[in-house]
Structure 1
Amino acid sequence: MTHLKVALQLFTLRDYDKGDFAEKLKKVREAGYDGVEFAGYDDIPAEEMKAILDRLQLTSMGSHIRIEELLNNLDEVIAYNQTIGSSYIVIPYYEMTSEEHVQTLIGIVKEIAPKIKAAGMDLLYHNHYHEFINDFGDKPILETLKEATTEDELNFEIDMFWTTHAGRKPVEVMEQFGSRCKTVHLKDMVSREGKEMTELGTGILDLSGILAKAQASNYKWVVVEQDRMTIDGYVSIKQSLDHVRSLLLN
């Protein structure tokens, strides 16, 4: 069983320490995180970003990259992420309201995946709610993406909040995707009715079961994310991490 590292998706802190990215990263490290998942680099060159990460002893677990960037600037995206030491390049969102959209995404994946794989990284897809429903096909979109691609081409970062939002059980989805699920977004939910996001351990998700499954499946990373917070962001990320650590010790 591998040691499970915990990263923070930096989108969580998008409104904090604007203009001082290094200070933001410093506070993430002080909260106790092993690494970060990027959602933009604040125009900091790759070598400089790597130096900041090294100084803070933070690891770049990966980066969320918009599909337009992957299509138009793939070489630059790969070079940046190689320099900062990322393991994963993640498609954070893709609108799919027709079968044509789904097939377009599959085509994009098959086009860009070989270069990403050759560079020593995995391409992941991060889900929201709509990939678990499908008004135009006979199976959930996420399953179509899995079946139409190979493990060398595409793997998954399953978001536990959106999985629950869609009425699915996170651990069952992790089992269904098997080795194709490389990591998960940990994000808690107040209730199935309101579906508000909340700090880990204060909602309804079976975080203990999710983490046990992640460990048993030899994940290297899990990722804490919270899109919307009602308390200070730095307090929130530490509270969530402390809860994860308490579960990992049991």
Structure 2
Amino acid sequence: MTNPKVALQLFTLRDYDKDDFSAKLRKVSEAGYDGVEFAGFADVPAEEMRAILDENHLVAMGSHTNVDELLNDFDGVIAYNKVIGTSYIIIPYYKMESIEDKDQLVSIVKEIGPKIQEAGMNLLYHNHYHELNHDFGDKTILEMLKEEANEGELNFEIDMFWTTHADHNPAELLNDFGTRCKTVHLKDMINKEEKTMTEVGTGILDLQGILSACKSAGFGWVVVEQDRITMDGYDSIKISLQNVKNVMKELQ
């Protein structure tokens, strides 16, 4: 079984090369990444974005797309992502202040998830901390979403930092979700007391256990992300990628 490819969530570099998306993607490619996960397209037309990706030998692994955009411009979202070759449309966040919020999201994904699948892509949900709490009963919100929307409607991108933040074991959660989880955010923390983000492989996460679970599940991709960086962002993404690749070599 082959190791998954590695993409970078471009939110990591949101403060870099803001006016030159081509330069940003070139530097991501030079760092050694196989692909990228978008968090907006900086007003770059789809055909131009595809050309930049192809020029830099990068794959559009996924696109974080908020629910309002999916509801208000569904055809536009699908058209753009088809051009750039996206595999996953990913809901990056949804407020969960009540059980009604969860019910509303379930209703939305049941409507749009099958349409996204018909277009040749899959709809995923990316978790933060709050979906792993027991705010509305014995089950977490993430478990409720898994049970109330089927595999043809919604699957998951589980964030390893937020999973750890909520006192869950990342590798165990991946195994629990099985085929419903399609990829992960590899995001590390220095310690569980301060919960400060750090480069992947330099913190407390069991990177070997996580990547072993990803490989066993047959993931095509894993995604590096770091929301807050204390060094040059391009240096940071190189460190994270090298640590991921080092562990993958051990798993071969």
- Measured in 2, the distance between the counterparts of 1:27 and 1:221 equals 20
Q: How many aligned positions are there?
A: 250
Matched, 1:148 2:148: yes
Please state whether the residue corresponding to 1:218 is helix, strand or coil: coil
CA contact (8 A) 2:3 2:248 kept: no
- Measured in 2, the distance between the counterparts of 1:132 and 1:157 equals 13
Matched, 1:165 2:128: no
Q: CA RMSD for the aligned pairs?
A: 0.6
Instruction: Give the residue type in structure 2 aligned to 1:211.
Output: L
Corresponding residue of 1:222: 222
TM-score, structure 2 length as denominator?
0.98
- Measured in 2, the distance between the counterparts of 1:175 and 1:61 equals 22
Please state whether the residue corresponding to 1:48 is helix, strand or coil: helix
Corresponding residue of 1:28: 28
- Measured in 2, the distance between the counterparts of 1:24 and 1:65 equals 20
- Measured in 2, the distance between the counterparts of 1:98 and 1:66 equals 19
Question: Mind listing any 5+ residue stretches in structure 1 that lack a counterpart?
Answer: none
Deviation at 1:136, TM superposition (A): 2.4
What is the CA deviation profile of residues 143-196 of structure 1, one whole-angstrom value per residue up to 9, with x for unaligned ones?
000000111110000000000000000000000000000000000000000000
Instruction: Give the residue type in structure 1 aligned to 2:77.
Output: V
CA contact (8 A) 1:46 1:83 kept: yes
Corresponding residue of 1:79: 79
Instruction: Give the residue type in structure 2 aligned to 1:224.
Output: V
Instruction: Give the residue type in structure 1 aligned to 2:106.
Output: I
Corresponding residue of 2:55: 55
Instruction: Give the residue type in structure 1 aligned to 2:37.
Output: E
Instruction: Give the residue type in structure 2 aligned to 1:113.
Output: G
Corresponding residue of 1:207: 207
Deviation at 1:134, TM superposition (A): 2.8
What is the CA deviation profile of residues 179-226 of structure 1, one whole-angstrom value per residue up to 9, with x for unaligned ones?
000000000000000000000111000001100111111000000000
- Measured in 1, the distance between the counterparts of 2:200 and 2:92 equals 21
- Measured in 2, the distance between the counterparts of 1:151 and 1:246 equals 33
Please state whether the residue corresponding to 1:63 is helix, strand or coil: strand
Corresponding residue of 2:4: 4
Deviation at 1:114, TM superposition (A): 1.5
Moved over 3 A (4+): none
Corresponding residue of 2:105: 105
Instruction: Give the residue type in structure 2 aligned to 1:62.
Output: G
Corresponding residue of 1:234: 234
Question: Mind listing any 5+ residue stretches in structure 2 that lack a counterpart?
Answer: none
Please state whether the residue corresponding to 1:237 is helix, strand or coil: helix
- Measured in 1, the distance between the counterparts of 2:203 and 2:162 equals 14
What is the CA deviation profile of residues 31-86 of structure 1, one whole-angstrom value per residue up to 9, with x for unaligned ones?
00000000000101101100110011000001000111011011111111111001
CA contact (8 A) 2:161 2:189 kept: yes
Corresponding residue of 1:131: 131
- Measured in 2, the distance between the counterparts of 1:109 and 1:201 equals 34
